[in-house]
Amino acid sequence: MDCPQPLEAATARPKGALPSPGGNWQIHAQGVGDLLIGEPLPSSLLKKEGGDPVQKFMKKVKGLDSNTLLNQGLLNQAGYPVIRLKTLEITLSFAQEWRVLSIEPGPSIVSQKGTSKGSSLAELKRAHGRFELHRTPEPYHCVATVPDVRWLAFRFSDCAAACQGERSQNVTVGKPNYDYME
């Protein structure tokens, strides 16, 4: 899908993001910082978090039924475990064997080209050269992908709003809806 020209942001940048965690925690083609799609949590993250977030998650969910887990945001709609990190503006979903399935970085976590949650299509085009728009089912009806960062998706309420300058409401690195790993 294409947008009519010109593409310019119509809304202000989101406020309230945490300070940038630094260059080591950027969005890249394999994940975010030391977090890699398809891999277990790295020791550098365990150290940064002050322990293993998976163990803390397991203690928190012990004895809870799936409806409670879903209602509390501890499972996503596809049934995968979801963990929000305490030291980084990142939410993770996990596949089999606690391998990272998808990463949702907040606005403080940016790509090498400076794009993140809250970027407009105009900013994506300036930074990455181009983007592709795809219509998708709920909860976001439009996704923009960029050619130079594999598995990166900028999600918008709908494509018309994105073309009119809406800023991305969510960013996902990885495969949020199915377990592509065996």
What confidence category does residue 179 fall into, taking pLDDT thresholds of 50, 70 and 90? very low
What confidence category does residue 176 fall into, taking pLDDT thresholds of 50, 70 and 90? low
What confidence category does residue 181 fall into, taking pLDDT thresholds of 50, 70 and 90? very low
Side-chain half-sphere exposure of 84, counting CA atoms within 13 A: 8
Global confidence as pTM: 0.85
Residue 133 confidence (pLDDT): 92
Residue 23 confidence (pLDDT): 60
Query: CA 55: distance to chain centroid?
Result: 22
What confidence category does residue 139 fall into, taking pLDDT thresholds of 50, 70 and 90? confident
What confidence category does residue 20 fall into, taking pLDDT thresholds of 50, 70 and 90? low
Query: CA 24: distance to chain centroid?
Result: 17
155 or 78, higher pLDDT: 155
Average pLDDT, the chain: 85
Q: Is the pLDDT of residue 13 over 70?
A: no
Q: CA geometry: angle at 149 spanning 47 and 107, to 5°?
A: 55
Asked if residues 32 and 109 have their Cβ atoms less than 8 Å apart, the reply is yes
